[in-house]
Amino acid sequence: MKKNTTVTFVLLALPCMVSFAQNKMQTIDPQATGETKALYQNLHKLSKKHILFGHQHATEYGHGWSGDKDRSDVKSVTGSHPAVIGVDFSGLSGRPEAMMENTRESLRKNIAATYNRGGITTISWHFSNPVSAGGFYWKDSVSLPAVKYIIPGGLQHEKYKSILRSIGEFVKTVKGDDGKAVPMIFRPFHEFDGDWFWWGKSHCTAEEFTSLWKFTVTYLRDSVGVHNFIYAFSPDCKFNTEAEYLERYPGNEWVDMVGMDNYADFGRDGKYNLDSGIMKLTIVSGYAKKANKLAAFTETGLESIPNTSWWTETLLKALKSKKMRLAYVLVWRNDKNSPTHFYAPFPGQASGPDFLKFYNNKYTLFESDLKKIYQ
């Protein structure tokens, strides 16, 4: 726990406070579990004065290691795991059942362990194309524009329902030591404004995309009975106005959290445009305030972190500007084999001292700073 950090939470034991918070901030699932609603409201309250730090695949593997118990590169540097840990549902379809069951078991243990420690899980979905080869990326002459095939009325709609049901039934089995279903932030079909994924802008119409989103939420929530999801909407950074940001937005009744993925403005390929990055984050945060939604910086980072002051002089500077309300910021993964594909420091990495300054700033929260986030 960082010194002098005061964290205030919604006191759900007080009926008057519950009523006020729920009137202002409601999940799109009226039947969301108590823990899911508490997480949603506590994230909203914390975002007024803090931001949670997240790292993709933080406890599954890191720079030069894999599968070690209670380990993350972030913890090795700071003494605490990230507050938000990203996992992926990419292995839950399109593979032999035995492989998928191994993936389910691994995910179940990882997500439950994060919950038991008091941390938060967010889920991305690098969904392999369900109607053609090519994987989750778009590959010319190989990939088919799957969205139109899997939405209601599409030729492969029943197949998509089967995939969703399998995922939903798995999600309901992920429980903590307290026996409760673990809340998760589910972020499907991310970076949809780009062309690199089969669900991207060039491969489906806006109407097809919003149909896919609405069906996904409806089926998981109302047919499969998943009530421990917070649904997050996150394009890449290819917008400059609120209207552009909302071009493929399905509507407030279908989204709990609005976000953005942005590497381009924060140093990718040595190019920085911090003013642009701040402007786009302000659009996301501003819309969330108007719509009574959570907002988050759902993906960012600087591969290999060659800028040794990136954490405080780039990321923290952007996050603390314009009085934005962002629940969390997540940086991408540390590959276990690659010497250069990493986005968080590990012991001895050059940006480590600056990351400790980032960690010790009162504005940033890590897992050890969180108390009773699900109450």
Per the structure, the count of domains in the chain is 1
The whole-model pTM stands at 0.94
Residue 101 lies in a domain: yes
* Mean pLDDT, residues 340-348: 98
Residue 63 lies in a domain: yes
pLDDT-above-70 percentage for the chain: 94
- Block residue for tokens 């090795």: 76
Asked whether 206 and 220 are in contact (CB, 8 A), the reply is no
> pLDDT band for position 4 (50/70/90)?
very low
pLDDT in tens, 184-199: 999 999 999 999 999 9
Amino acid letter, 222: D
- Of the candidates 357, 375, 371, 364, the residue with the CA atom closest to the CA atom of residue 7: 371
* Mean pLDDT, residues 236-240: 98
Residue 134 lies in a domain: yes
Q: Which domain holds residue 346?
A: 51-369
Contacts of 50 (CB under 8 A, 6+ apart): 7, 362, 363, 364, 365
Terminal Cα distance for the chain, rounded: 19
Residue 27 lies in a domain: no
> pLDDT band for position 24 (50/70/90)?
low
Residue 169 has pLDDT above 70, yes or no: yes
Indicate which CATH number applies to the domain containing 252.
3.20.20.80
Residue 153 has pLDDT above 70, yes or no: yes
Residue 254 lies in a domain: yes
Residue 144 lies in a domain: yes
Residue 135 lies in a domain: yes
106-to-61, 170, 305, 334, 357 alpha-carbon distances in Å: 12, 12, 29, 18, 33
Residue 189 lies in a domain: yes
